[in-house]
Amino acid sequence: MDVSAGKRGRVWSCKPCGYRGEKLSVTNHVYQHHLSLEDYPFSCRLCQFTAFQRNKFVKHGKWYLEHKMRVADGPEPPVSSYLQMRDNTAMLEELMVVLSVEESVRHWESRRRPSSLPPPDGPPVSLAAPATVPLSVPSLPPVPVFITSSLPSSSLAFPSPAVSLPAVSLPVVSLPAVSLPSSAAIPPQSALDSSLPELLTEEDQQLLDEFFVREPSSTEVEQSRKTESLEREVERQRRVIEEHQATISALRRGRDEAPRSFHDGPGEGEPYNPRPQRSSAPLRRSPRKLQSVVRVVPRPIRPKPQQRPWHRSPLDDLFQPDHPFHRSSKRH
């Protein structure tokens, strides 16, 4: 079975999904994706653990908790006592197929990684001589005068040469003399305002005031904030006073409804009697009676029930060999 591409052997394929690879890889793929746990070749009689790899099945007694609980009462039994094997070769042959040599070679050739490129003929790039090819610079037209004159003269990166502009002669224009009236001849502003006709009515002025909203100044904003804070504080104080009044009225109502003694004083609407009639009953309770009322009877301390070990449960008795319902028993 000498096949190229590393002599990896014939290629196996999975019939349901077309997965290809070596025989062991395809076998594991079929067990994981196309077979149920009941079809695995290895199973344990103690904990019902299943596996399709013998090495994993042998080591499950060290980490599988269910198996460790089953053998916690005694020494661990040998593997042959709980190993159960199932022959499913026919089932694997129905789901796997081996490909021909040509198809195997074609498959391994497609999976081959690309080899490294051959080294170049010349030296490495870091040791190569610098390029001496002359560079061609495009010829640009001369820069206009107004651009060079606008560059800063103190710049070292863009030194601007001295540019001499031709002198421009502007014509002299003579303006006519204008005689301005003296300050005494100008009427005051109040006279001008009174002389102007009333162009806007009161309704138009109101519309203009509504349209052009004047922004409040910082002083007005601060004053409005202070006013709002004062209003909130007054409202809070009012709520506190109302709560206090409600509490006082509730206390008074409860006091009036409760039975009163001589020391409580007269009730609401009753006249004050400085010399009340003394009764034969004591006015206050005796200390012994108060002590009997306040006394707290301690609760009896109950003993805790005996706890069973954590690894023991009522169902563990079913797995004992002497139990009538044990699988090794012949009573059922």
pLDDT tens per residue, the chain (332 residues)? 455 545 678 888 898 888 888 888 888 888 888 887 778 888 887 787 788 877 777 777 777 777 777 777 767 777 777 777 777 778 888 888 888 888 888 888 887 766 665 666 666 655 556 667 677 777 776 666 555 555 555 555 455 555 566 665 666 666 666 565 555 555 565 555 555 445 667 777 777 776 665 566 778 888 888 999 999 999 999 999 999 888 888 888 876 665 555 445 555 555 555 555 555 555 555 555 555 555 566 677 776 666 555 555 666 665 666 666 666 655 54
Q: Whole-angstrom Cα distance, residue 225 to residue 218?
A: 11
pLDDT at position 117: 59
Q: Whole-angstrom Cα distance, residue 312 to residue 72?
A: 9
- 101 contacts 10 by C-beta, under 8 angstroms: yes
Q: Whole-angstrom Cα distance, residue 23 to residue 31?
A: 12
CA separation, residue 204 to residues 114, 193, 197, 214 (Å) = 89, 19, 15, 17
pLDDT at position 238: 92
- 43 contacts 132 by C-beta, under 8 angstroms: no
Strand 96-98, strand 12-14: pairing: antiparallel
Task: Using the CB atoms, write b or e for 46-80: b if 16+ within 10 Å.
Answer: bbebbbbeeeebeebbeeeeebebbeeeeeeeeee
pLDDT at position 196: 47
Q: What is the pTM of this model?
A: 0.31
pLDDT at position 332: 47
- 20 contacts 12 by C-beta, under 8 angstroms: yes
